[in-house]
A and B are shown apart, each in its own frame.
Chain A
Amino acid sequence: MDPFFYLIIFAGAVAGASTGFLGVYIVGMRMPFIGTCISHAAMAGTIFSCLLGIPPTIGAVTFSVFSAMSMAAIPPDKSRLDTNVGLAILFSFMLGLTFLGIGLVESSRSEILGLLWGNILFVQRKSVLAITAIALLLVLFGTFFNKEMKVLLFSRSIASATGVHQGFVYCLFLCLCGITLSVNLQIIGGLMIFSLITNPAAAAYQICRGHRAVVIAATLFGVLSTVSGFLVSFYFDLPTGACIVIVSTVIFALSVLCRLLSNAKI
């Protein structure tokens, strides 16, 4: 195997770990659609960066963070709007902006479509550094806001009624979602991000007891999905993204099977 592939495997592992970790909270809060939503925000941001002549990453991250933060405007206790409906509205708006941009910027279509499907095989060293730095930021967030995030997962109503600074921590989490997903998007693409957010975390929720076990399992399942998906694609000469998505789905299916076969009350 060419040494360059080690970089791809490392990048995949970091992206899988980051999305698996974030997925614990995103799936737990029942808003997996945020992945697709942020992907399209990043695409819209990339296109408008091209129009304005600024670096695409700046536009992608800005659009992603703003769209993620707009979810904070839906309060937990007095809203008549379900978070997923809010995300669907935002998604359609971002899709509209994306297609508007595609119509306006003819030259960068391939780059934009690359964002949707991802291009892990063309990973650059600086992108790997960026996702590694963000993964470390996630570790810090998970360490310092672990107790608040647990309450937020369990009940945002309890969190706000009992004085947990849930608004602040939730905004911080959304902001981190926007940054993490938009930067990882450049490596693994929007469609793969959606499955890597959802499948490893959903699998962990099936078989784990306790929050720490869920976090560790989801992170490992994320790494397992990307690394083994890549290896399968390498040795059998198959499309990498498709293999990663299928492996993560198989992990979820196996975890459901484990739970059904196990007698333990989980």
Chain B
Amino acid sequence: MSEDFLKLSDIHITRAGKTILHIDHLHIQSGQFVNIIGTNGAGKTTLLKVICGLLKPSAGSVVFNHILINSLNPWQKSNIRKRIGYIPQSTEYNSELPFTAREVAAMGRTSIKPLLTGLSRADYEHVDFWMEKLGLNDQKNQTFRSLSGGEQQKVLIARAMVQEPLMLMLDEPTSNLDFNWKLRISRIVRELHQQPGLTVLMVSHEISSIPVNVDRTILLHKGGILADGNSEQVLTSAVIQDVYECEINIFETEGNKYVFSRELSRQ
């Protein structure tokens, strides 16, 4: 068994007297692929922010790669976050600026290079390596804003990988994409997980198709962990019906699980 890469204990976050996240105990091993699911407002994004130290819990401790991050000052926290590759939701970045795709990917090197230094030729070689690996050679000099949603997502993945991350955090990476791009991005993330020691944390509110090869699925509900285990254990009809408050059918084919609402199935 791999060692624990991330340990959360007795985490509580309250807003206006209301608890929005309470995690008694969550350990994630190095190299795991963890899928965090839940309804809107279940606390998924809050959990990601706690893990990377952007949100300070009212109580509890977060240990990231053997370092207790609660007690660090903002500058030290920034240094810890240098090894987190973060792919945010599309509302979190400005896609209207005329940055080229290569410039956006190269932003990943900014995290790991010290202040007051520029990017070297070796840095750009690293950027080009990941752009080629993700099939972005033709888009390299195009502006990010002129790319399709799926291509933009690939550039953001390249940006995160250029950072040489220990952990990849993806916040609903396929939420605005069509079916074809959803599959392509999911495939890319699965392939990236083969990188030695790379821990992947993927947040999603979609349960209509559950990706294969996920080591672990965590179902958040009303700020707490309702179920934690492999997809078979977590995604049972009873649990999903309870959380999403609707009747569902689960179909399984070629190792993938597909969840449909009965109402839609009848239509």
List the B side residues contacting A265 at CB < 8 Å: 142-143, 146
Interface of A is mostly: helix
Q: Which single member of A144, A148, A210 contacts B99 (CB below 8 Å)? A: A210
Whether the pair B104, A147 counts as a contact (CB closer than 8 A) is no
Measured CA separation A157–B52 after assembly (Å): 12
B1 interface residue, CB < 8 Å from A? no
A162 interface residue, CB < 8 Å from B? yes
A160 interface residue, CB < 8 Å from B? yes
List the A side residues contacting B55 at CB < 8 Å: 78
What 0/1 readout, one digit per residue, does chain B (31-65) give for beta carbons within 8 Å of chain A?
00000000000000000010010110000000000
A211 interface residue, CB < 8 Å from B? yes
Whether the pair A161, B99 counts as a contact (CB closer than 8 A) is no
Q: How far is the CB of A231 from chain B (nearest CB, A)?
A: 30
Measured CA separation A58–B237 after assembly (Å): 69
Interface size on A, residues (CB 8 A): 34
Q: Which single member of A30, A77, A78, A211 contacts B103 (CB below 8 Å)? A: A211
List the B side residues contacting A154 at CB < 8 Å: 93-94, 97, 99, 104, 107
List the B side residues contacting A163 at CB < 8 Å: 77-84, 111
Give B114's nearest chain A residue, CB to CB. A165
Pick the most buried of A77, A153, A154: most chain B CB atoms within 10 A of its CB.
A154
A214 interface residue, CB < 8 Å from B? yes
Whether the pair A161, B86 counts as a contact (CB closer than 8 A) is yes
Measured CA separation A153–B144 after assembly (Å): 13
List the B side residues contacting A109 at CB < 8 Å: none
Measured CA separation A147–B116 after assembly (Å): 9
Pick the most buried of B80, B100, B163: most chain A CB atoms within 10 A of its CB.
B100
What 0/1 readout, one digit per residue, does chain B (108-136) give for beta carbons within 8 Å of chain A?
11110101101100000000000000000
Q: How far is the CB of B210 from chain A (nearest CB, A)?
A: 26
Q: Do A155 and B93 contact each other (CB < 8 Å), given the known contacts A77-B49, A167-B74, A265-B146? A: yes
Whether the pair A158, B78 counts as a contact (CB closer than 8 A) is no
Measured CA separation A150–B113 after assembly (Å): 14
Give B88's nearest chain A residue, CB to CB. A157
Q: How far is the CB of B56 from chain A (nearest CB, A)?
A: 10
A191 interface residue, CB < 8 Å from B? no
Q: How far is the CB of A239 from chain B (nearest CB, A)?
A: 34
Measured CA separation A266–B141 after assembly (Å): 10
List the A side residues contacting B77 at CB < 8 Å: 163
What 0/1 readout, one digit per residue, does chain B (196-207) give for beta carbons within 8 Å of chain A?
000000000000
List the A side residues contacting B81 at CB < 8 Å: 160-163
List the B side residues contacting A213 at CB < 8 Å: 98
B92 interface residue, CB < 8 Å from A? yes
Measured CA separation A232–B82 after assembly (Å): 52
B85 interface residue, CB < 8 Å from A? yes
List the B side residues contacting A28 at CB < 8 Å: 94, 97
Known: A144-B115, A154-B94, A163-B82. 18 other contacts (CB 8 A): A147-B110, A150-B110, A151-B110, A157-B88, A157-B93, A160-B54, A161-B54, A161-B81, A161-B86, A163-B81, A163-B84, A164-B78, A165-B115, A168-B75, A168-B115, A205-B97, A209-B100, A210-B100
> Which residues of A are interface residues toward B (Cβ below 8 A)?
28, 30, 77-78, 144-148, 150-151, 153-155, 157-158, 160-165, 167-169, 205, 208-211, 213-214, 265-266
- By Cβ-Cβ distance, the 6 closest A-B pairs, closest first, are A163-B81, A163-B82, A155-B93, A161-B86, A265-B146, A157-B92
What would 16 A/B residue contacts be, using CB atoms closer than 8 Å? A145-B116, A147-B107, A150-B110, A151-B107, A153-B99, A158-B93, A163-B79, A163-B84, A164-B78, A165-B75, A165-B78, A209-B143, A211-B98, A211-B103, A265-B142, A266-B98
